[in-house]
């Protein structure tokens, strides 16, 4: 368990978004529609792009809650932000594993993260850029901030995809399904099948939920990102909805459970000092508690393998940080 205390966040929160590409701008739009923040700032190396996005967002205000939207290329804009959402970096291409983005995006983070911390060392840093787990770890090292205030979106989106697919098969709302994707936000992720259930009923109690179906759903969950990128070039709607939900949970101190990529400080199945997705409670103070996970023998092996893969990626760029 890891508990951390920071200042409480008020309902009139300011949220800064680093990177005004597809993901960053859609996060801003989603938060605006949902009334998550009173002030949103977009920061991008391309000042004109960020400013254009801000103009477009401001023109929504007749139809949304009144929100201040600012944009620019100066990191001074993060001053006073309760949460800084980091989306800066190169995007994943068709058929490209997330880890292939690593070295270039580490270089970007080496430039971006110190600038954020210099202007605002009291914020919560929420990492969205891929490869997510490695860059969350890199951010911790570059920022020097406590681990309760630095974490990534992890497998929150993967878990949403999983629940959607289970719901499609069993004709049940995804909201009533308890099932999680753990491990890397990437190809070594795995489903925590041994604890998956609907209303407390294990999924393997449903006659049509066979091992073959489980395997198909896992594969589709893992490969969903490639299917979307192949067809439309990028993913941004679902991840934006996920980020908006996370930001709301933090601002409102909801103590919600999400599978976030957080630093494992105390050994979990022999694994520590790596950022990886496990069920985590978040609230106004950031990470409140990392929940203990009870895995079966197969899942334990998958968790260890996934952690080792992330650690290997971290070692491959250790000279850069």
In a domain, 7, yes or no: no
Predicted local confidence at residue 98, as pLDDT:
57
Predicted local confidence at residue 96, as pLDDT:
62
pLDDT, averaged per 10 consecutive residues of the chain (321 residues), comes to 50 91 98 96 98 97 94 98 96 66 92 98 98 97 98 99 99 98 97 98 97 98 95 96 98 97 95 97 96 97 98 91 80
Total residues belonging to the chain? 321
In a domain, 90, yes or no: yes
Please tell me the number of Cα atoms within 13 Å of 255 on its side-chain side: 5
Distance in angstroms (rounded) separating the CA atoms of residues 30 and 80: 21
- Catalytic site includes residue 185: yes
In a domain, 4, yes or no: no
Predicted local confidence at residue 43, as pLDDT:
99
Domain end call among 126, 152, 178: 152
- Write down the catalytic residue from 185, 222, 245, 309: 185
Domain end call among 132, 152, 172: 152
Cα 91 vs. chain centroid, distance in angstroms?
15
Cis peptide before 108 (omega within 30 of 0): no
Domain end call among 152, 180, 207: 152
Are 148 and 169 contained in the same domain?
A: no
Token pair in block for residue 220 = 């589709």
Predicted local confidence at residue 173, as pLDDT:
98
Predicted local confidence at residue 12, as pLDDT:
72
Instruction: Decide: pTM greater than 0.85.
Output: yes
In which order are the strands placed within the sheet that holds 197-198?
177-178, 197-198, 201-202
Are 138 and 188 contained in the same domain?
A: no
- Give the chain's domain count: 2
Distance in angstroms (rounded) separating the CA atoms of residues 213 and 219: 10
Are 246 and 304 contained in the same domain?
A: yes
Domain membership of residue 83 as a residue range: 14-152
Are 142 and 180 contained in the same domain?
A: no
3-class SS of residue 197: strand
In angstroms, the Cα distances linking 303 to 78, 185, 294, 295 are: 36, 12, 11, 9
Domain with residue 187: its CATH number is 3.90.110.10
3-class SS of residue 271: strand
Are 71 and 49 contained in the same domain?
A: yes
Q: Is the dihedral of CA 191, 286, 281, 296 positive or negative?
A: positive
Are 100 and 170 contained in the same domain?
A: no
């Amino acid at each position: 368990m890891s508990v951390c205390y920071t200042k409480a966040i008020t309902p009139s929160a300011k949220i800064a978004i680093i990177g005004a590409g597809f993901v960053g701008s859609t996060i801003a739009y989603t938060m605006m529609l949902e009334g998550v923040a009173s002030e949103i700032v977009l920061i991008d190396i391309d000042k004109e792009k960020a400013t254009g996005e801000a103009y477009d967002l401001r023109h929504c205000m007749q139809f949304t809650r009144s929100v201040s939207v600012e944009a620019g290329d100066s990191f001074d804009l993060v001053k006073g932000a309760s949460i800084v959402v980091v989306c800066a970096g190169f995007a994943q291409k068709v058929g490209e594993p997330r880890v292939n983005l690593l070295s270039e995006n580490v270089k970007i983070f080496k430039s971006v993260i110190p600038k954020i911390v210099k202007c605002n060392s009291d914020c919560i840093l929420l990492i969205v850029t891929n490869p997510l787990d490695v860059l969350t770890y890199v951010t911790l090292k570059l920022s020097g901030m406590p681990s309760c205030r630095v974490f990534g979106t992890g497998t929150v989106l993967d878990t949403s995809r999983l629940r959607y697919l289970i719901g499609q098969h069993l004709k049940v709302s995804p909201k009533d399904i308890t099932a999680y994707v753990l491990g890397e936000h990437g190809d070594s992720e795995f489903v925590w099948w041994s604890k998956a259930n609907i209303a407390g009923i294990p999924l393997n109690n449903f006659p049509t939920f066979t091992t073959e179906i489980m395997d198909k759903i896992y594969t589709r969950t893992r490969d969903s990102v490639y299917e979307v990128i192949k067809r439309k070039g990028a993913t941004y709607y679902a991840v934006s909805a996920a980020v908006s939900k996370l930001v709301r949970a933090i601002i409102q101190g909801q103590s919600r459970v999400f599978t976030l990529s957080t630093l494992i400080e105390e050994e979990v199945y022999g694994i520590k000092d790596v950022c990886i997705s496990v069920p985590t409670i978040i609230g106004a103070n950031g990470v409140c508690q990392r929940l203990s996970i009870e895995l079966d023998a197969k899942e334990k092996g998958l968790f260890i393998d996934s952690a080792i893969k992330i650690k290997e990626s971290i070692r491959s760029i250790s000279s850069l940080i």
